[in-house]
Each structure stands twice: as C-alpha cells, then as structure tokens.
Amino acid sequence: MKPIISFYGFGNMGQALFNSMQHSRWVDHYHWQFYDPNPELQKKFGQHPHIKLQNENELFSNSFLIFICIKPQNVDQLYQAIQQYKPQNCHLISMMAGIKTESIQQQLDPSCRISRIMPNTPARIQEGATAICLDAFTNAHEKESIEKLLKTAGTIVHVAEPQLNTITALSGSGPAFTYQIIKDFLEFAKNEEIDRDVALPIICQTLIGAAKMVMQYQNIDHLIESVSSPSGTTVRGLESYHANKIGVYLNEMLTAASDRAKELAKESEQ
C-alpha cells in the first residue's frame, strides 16, 4: 500500500507545496489527502484527481507525513484536533511561523515526531526556498521522503530551530518584500512614462540575473564594484541609497518580521 501524505489546512502555502509535488515524479508514489474547514476549499478541491478531501479523524489516523499548513494564530485548532483524535506514530511537519516544536510535542503522543519547515510561496512554480529543522528522532526513510518532496518546490536547506524566526523574515516573508520592491521600481518607470509591459520584464529579469550572479560568484562587493563606473549612474544611485539609509530601513523591516515570529511563539504558550 502506498504511504499517505496529508495536508492539515490547504490554504495558499499548502496548495503551493502540493502543486509542486503533484507535478513531480513522486506524485504516483503516494496517496494524497487534505483537510480544511473552509467550504470553498472543500468544494474547489473535493473532486481533484490527485488529492482526496478527508475528515480530521481519518487524516490523523492513516498518514505517513502530515504537513501542518494552518496559520500560527490557529494553533489551538491543531491542539484540539490532536487531543480529540490522538494520532500515533506519525510525523507532523509544521510550517507555522514562530510555533516551537516543543509546544506541539507536548500535545502529541510520544510515538509521534514533529519537524518544522519554513517554505515560501514561489514553491507554486518550483522556485521556492524551504528551511528544514528535522525532529531528532526522524528516521532515514522519513528524512529521505521529506527532502525529496520539498525539493520539488525548489531549494532546501537544513537549519537549527532557533534560526527559523530569522529565516521566516528572510524567506517566508521575503517574497512579499521583493514584490514591494518590484512595485516601487514599476512606479518609478511609470513616472518616467515607461509602459508596464516594457518595464516589468526588464525589472524582473534584472533581479533574476543579479541573484544568479550572486549565487555563482558570491562576492557581492566585487559585483557591485563591477557595475559602478567612477562618477557614473550606479555610483550616484548608491550614494543616494546610503545617504537615505535604505539599508537601515530594510534591516528594520526584516527585524520587525523576525520579532513578530518570536511574538507568535510567546502567544501560543500563553
């Protein structure tokens, strides 16, 4: 019998991960199921050819891996389900920002494992980045399965749990911050009377190309210098960047996101 991969909660992030997994060669290696209390999602995916709508009891009783894809503010919903259905010998994989594995483990039977991940929404197009913190008792088969499934969504890295709040700011929230920067670039282009259909591909490809250059050459200071001709346009722009302390404000934005992840952890423990 094929192992069962489940999604507890099937909002944007759960759908993004499943979308990558279902388009991989692993889709036929497992049975797939989800639970979500949202009637609209039940209707939308209830007849999906690759994933089955399941009730909570069945989901917690027959799953090999369970991806916990609910918002951290709804963690009590998970705790109530665990107390009611008492899952045993399963592996939960939580993507709830800020919620520590210790807090979830206290609700679980000792036979269960709880790992944490922090993916991001570009997983929907197989261009995501996912940080993984595996339970210390994860066996080799579970580790292999988790890694190969998450690799379908893009890049994976292993981190220690205390690093996940920072990763949440950099990567989990990072796409929204990047979209905002693209929006600001587009606004500048609009003010300069450049059409969106011209500006958008130029801006996006510039970001993609710059990111690939950093990945390949890694020395960011050298890359900046390579574009910065003396007394040229790049130098003038960077002078404004530093004079206006844009880097400081970006750091404050990331710190605020990371701090919120820490706050969510404290709220869940109250």
pLDDT tens digits, one per residue of 165-197: 999 999 999 999 999 999 999 999 999 999 999
Beta carbons within 10 angstroms of residue 24's beta carbon? 15
Residue 26 has pLDDT above 90, yes or no: no
Query: pLDDT tens-digit profile of 118-171?
Result: 999 999 999 999 999 999 999 999 999 999 999 999 999 999 999 999 999 999
As a whole number, mean pLDDT of residues 204-228 equals: 95
Residue 5 has pLDDT above 90, yes or no: yes
Query: Rounded distance, CA 132 to CA 119, Å?
Result: 9
Q: Which residue carries 């993984």 as its tokens? A: 132
Query: Nearest CA to 29 among 56, 64, 69?
Result: 64
What pLDDT, on a 0 to 100 scale, did the predictor assign at position 172?
93
As a whole number, mean pLDDT of residues 239-251 equals: 97
Query: pLDDT tens-digit profile of 221-237?
Result: 999 999 999 999 999 99
Query: Nearest CA to 9 among 90, 50, 66, 88?
Result: 66
> pTM (2 decimals)?
0.90
